[in-house]
Amino acid sequence: LAALPTELRECLVLRELEDLSYKEISEITGSPIGTVMSRLWRARRSLAQVARGSPA
Amino acid sequence: MTDTSNGPMQSHNDQEMAFLIQAEIDGELSPADAARVAAHVAASESGAALRAELLAVSGRIRREAPRFTPPDDFADRVRARLDAATPALASGTGHGRARFRLPRPSWAVGSSFGAGFAIAAMLLLIVMPPRSREDLPGSVVADHVRALQPGHLLDVISSDHHTVRPWFDGRLDFAPPVKDLKEIGYPLRGGRLDYLVGRPVAALVYAACPHLIDLYVWPAGAPSIESSGQRSGYNYVRWQQDGMQFWAVSDLARDELATFVRHWRTG
């Protein structure tokens, strides 16, 4: 998590640890919902790649 | 479906479905769209693998990521500093309410993400906000129907309540009571994480051959009386017990579902 770019980590923490909806994350970060979805996707893929042992 | 991590080689349809799968596990889709995703996942090995991987990442973060619990006076201290720093906002004369934002570096949007953004924008048309509490029976029944789609019913498969209950640790901020009623004809099939009333909830699945019963559990809010009803041909019973809110939903007949609830409450 700490290695993720801040904007990706921010969305992921708000979603996974704070259980906020896309709309709520959008409001907090000031980003469009589409951007929230894209950042969540990139964050999760990065972590999945790390978990598989390949470079993120 | 191809690997969606490398933009240039994938089709827009693949990436759209990947975003849909992600939105589905985040509980952001309507029942109809969730059912469409479930059908795709059931028929696509790579789609199922992607969903499993996203769930694994989600579960691991929730189990292992450190959580910060602020001290009790944290909010007061922040407000005091905010008041001191921005008297106009604190006195209500500002044009908007104060909002905290984490510091973010400037971010140049790479061209490889352009298509992703466009697709995400299109997906906004089908990503739904959580339903209102006023339509809670409809939401709960819709979730039950969605869970009956292939691949949706169970995240943890076990008839042992000693296995099912710990599975929710780290995934929920409460410990749902889990009972096995096998001896009286309602064996526990497992459980799953769901999203209702704007929060994650536990869903316990019981068999009542040949029917299935979803028992949703989350911490009770305002006190409410026990009630029952029907939506779209499915019966539900809701009640509060030991500080928890329960909803039992099934295609069982009304009196049969009431019997299950009676056994569960006293079991």
Identify the domain boundary among B64, B87, B106: B64
Name the stretches of chain A with pLDDT < 70: 54-56
Q: Give the whole-angstrom CA distance, residue B23 versus residue B31.
A: 12
Question: Residue B3: inside a domain, yes or no?
Answer: no
Residue-wise pLDDT tens digits, B174-215: 899 999 888 888 998 888 888 877 778 899 999 988 889 999
Q: Is the pLDDT of residue B147 over 60?
A: yes
B254 and B152, same structural domain? Answer: yes
Residues 6+ apart with CB under 8 A from B109: B117
B25 and B84, same structural domain? Answer: no
pLDDT band of residue B74 (cuts 50, 70, 90) is confident
Identify the domain boundary among B85, B107, B127: B127
Domain range for B25 is 9-64
Q: How many distinct structural domains can be found in chain B? A: 3
Determine if the peptide bond prior to B103 is cis (ω within 30°). Answer: no
B242 and B121, same structural domain? Answer: no
Q: Do B199 and A19 touch (CB under 8 A)?
A: yes
B51 and B167, same structural domain? Answer: no
B228 and B161, same structural domain? Answer: yes
- pLDDT for res B118: 54
Q: Give the whole-angstrom CA distance, residue B131 versus residue B123.
A: 18
B57/chain A closest Cα distance in angstroms: 6
- Give chain B positions within 8 Å (CB) of A19: 173, 199-200
Question: Residue B37: inside a domain, yes or no?
Answer: yes
CB B12 within 8 A of CB B117: no
Question: Residue B33: inside a domain, yes or no?
Answer: yes
pLDDT band of residue B107 (cuts 50, 70, 90) is very low
* pLDDT, greater one: B256 or B108: B256
B233 and B158, same structural domain? Answer: yes
Q: Give the whole-angstrom CA distance, residue A6 versus residue B39.
A: 35
% of chain B residues with pLDDT over 70: 75
**Is residue B129 less than 8 Å (CB to CB) from chain A?**
yes
B106 and B226, same structural domain? Answer: no
B258 and B162, same structural domain? Answer: yes
B199-208 and B211-219 strand pairing: antiparallel
